[in-house]
C-alpha cells in the first residue's frame, strides 16, 4: 500500500470536517452501527476517491443483517481476556482520576470496542468468502450513548502527552509499527489513565499474553466472519486501493484485531476496578 493511501488514524479526516456526502455516510455509520463516533477506518477511506461510499455501500447490508452483533456476543463469551491486577485507591488518586471521570472513560472504551469489534467482523466478511451458514434472526440493538469529550487532533495535544501516547504504540504487537491507536488519543484527556494502563499492561505485553490474546481473536474472526459474506452487496465495485486498505486494517497484527483485543481487555479491567 502506498503511503498516500495508508491507514493513518492521526491524519484521517475528522467527523467535524466532513461535509456533503461524506457527512451523510458518517451519520449512516453511526446510526446503523449504533455508535457515537466514526472510527478511523471509515474516516481514512474518505481519502480514496469513491472508497468510503463504495466500501460502506458494500458492507452496510452485513451490519444490517445483525450477524456481526451476534458473532461479537459469541466472541466475548468464548474468548478469555486477561486483565492485570486491581488498581489501588492511591494509584487512582495519583493519576488525577476522580468519580466524575469514571463514566466518560468507560463510555469511550465501550464506544471504540463496539466499533472496532464490529468493523473487524464485518470488514473481514466483506473481503473473505466463506461457506454460508444461516444464523438465528438478530434484532439490532439500540444503544444510548452519553455525550463524549472531543477527539483531540495532534496539534491540540502538548508534546509531553504526545510522547506519552507514543509509548502505547507497541503495546500488544511484536512487529514494528508507527500507528497510534485512536482510542488512546481520545483518552488523553486523562493522561494519568494512560500512565496507569501502560504500567499495568506492560507485564502482560512482556509475557506475550497480549499478543496471544490478539492472535486468538484474529483467528476466531477469520474462522467465523466469512460465514456472513453472502450479505455483502456484490453489485458494488469497491476500488482496489480501498480493498487494500481494508486488508491491512483487518490483517495480521498490528491491525484492528490488536485494539479489539486490548481495548476490550482494558474496558473489562477498568469497569471491574471501578465497580461499573
Query: DSSP string covering 136-160, please?
Result: PP-PPP----PPPPPPPPGGGS-HH
Give the cell for residue 97: 482520576
Q: Using pLDDT thresholds of 50, 70 and 90, give the confidence band for residue 5.
A: very low
- For Cα atoms 65, 134, 63, give the angle at the middle one, nearest 5 degrees: 15
- Does residue 106 contact residue 274 with C-beta atoms inside 8 Å? yes
Return the percentage of the chain with pLDDT > 90, whole number: 77
Return the percentage of the chain with pLDDT > 70, whole number: 93
CA neighbours closer than 13 Å in the CB half-sphere of residue 236: 21
Q: What's the mean per-residue pLDDT of the chain? A: 91
218-241 average pLDDT score: 95
What is the per-residue pLDDT for 92?
84
Residue 270: alpha-carbon gap to chain centroid: 17
| Rounded Cα–Cα distance for residues 75 and 220 (Å) | 8
What is the per-residue pLDDT for 126?
96
| Rounded Cα–Cα distance for residues 207 and 116 (Å) | 25
| Rounded Cα–Cα distance for residues 146 and 106 (Å) | 11
Which pTM was predicted? 0.92
- Does residue 49 contact residue 120 with C-beta atoms inside 8 Å? no
Asked whether the predicted pLDDT for residue 84 surpasses 90, the reply is: yes
| pLDDT tens-digit series, residues 162-192 | 999 999 999 988 777 888 999 999 999 999 9
| Rounded Cα–Cα distance for residues 108 and 152 (Å) | 13
What is the per-residue pLDDT for 6?
52
| pLDDT tens-digit series, residues 97-141 | 988 999 999 999 999 999 999 999 999 999 998 877 666 667 888
Asked whether the predicted pLDDT for residue 3 surpasses 70, the reply is: no
| pLDDT tens-digit series, residues 56-78 | 999 999 999 999 999 999 999 99
Peptide bond into 254 cis (omega under 30): yes
What is the per-residue pLDDT for 209?
93
Amino acid at each position: 500500500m502506498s503511503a498516500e493511501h495508508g491507514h493513518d488514524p492521526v491524519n484521517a479526516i475528522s467527523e467535524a470536517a466532513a461535509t456533503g456526502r461524506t457527512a451523510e455516510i458518517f451519520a449512516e455509520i453511526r446510526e446503523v452501527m449504533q455508535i457515537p463516533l466514526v472510527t478511523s477506518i471509515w474516516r481514512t477511506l474518505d481519502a480514496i476517491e469513491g472508497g468510503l461510499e463504495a466500501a460502506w455501500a458494500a458492507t452496510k447490508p452485513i451490519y444490517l443483517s445483525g450477524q456481526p452483533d451476534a458473532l461479537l456476543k459469541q466472541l466475548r463469551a468464548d474468548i478469555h481476556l486477561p486483565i492485570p491486577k486491581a488498581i489501588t485507591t492511591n494509584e487512582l488518586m495519583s493519576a488525577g482520576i476522580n468519580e466524575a471521570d469514571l463514566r466518560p472513560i468507560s463510555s469511550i472504551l465501550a464506544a471504540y470496542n463496539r466499533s472496532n469489534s464490529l468493523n473487524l467482523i464485518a470488514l473481514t466478511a466483506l473481503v473473505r468468502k466463506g461457506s454460508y451458514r444461516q444464523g438465528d434472526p438478530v434484532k439490532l440493538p439500540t444503544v444510548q450513548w452519553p455525550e463524549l469529550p472531543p477527539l483531540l487532533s495532534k496539534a491540540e495535544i502538548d508534546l509531553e502527552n504526545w510522547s506519552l501516547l507514543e509509548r502505547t504504540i507497541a503495546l500488544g504487537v511484536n512487529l514494528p509499527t508507527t500507528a497510534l491507536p485512536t482510542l488512546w488519543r481520545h483518552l488523553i484527556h486523562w493522561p494519568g489513565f494512560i500512565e496507569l494502563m501502560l504500567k499495568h499492561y506492560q507485564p502482560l505485553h512482556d509475557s506475550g499474553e497480549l499478543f496471544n490474546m490478539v492472535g486468538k481473536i484474529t483467528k476466531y474472526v477469520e474462522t467465523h466472519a466469512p460465514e456472513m459474506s453472502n450479505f455483502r452487496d456484490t453489485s458494488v465495485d469497491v476500488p482496489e486501493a480501498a480493498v487494500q486498505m481494508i486488508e491491512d486494517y483487518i490483517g495480521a497484527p498490528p491491525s484492528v484485531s490488536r485494539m479489539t483485543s486490548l481495548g476490550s481487555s482494558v474496558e473489562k479491567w477498568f469497569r471491574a476496578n471501578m465497580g461499573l
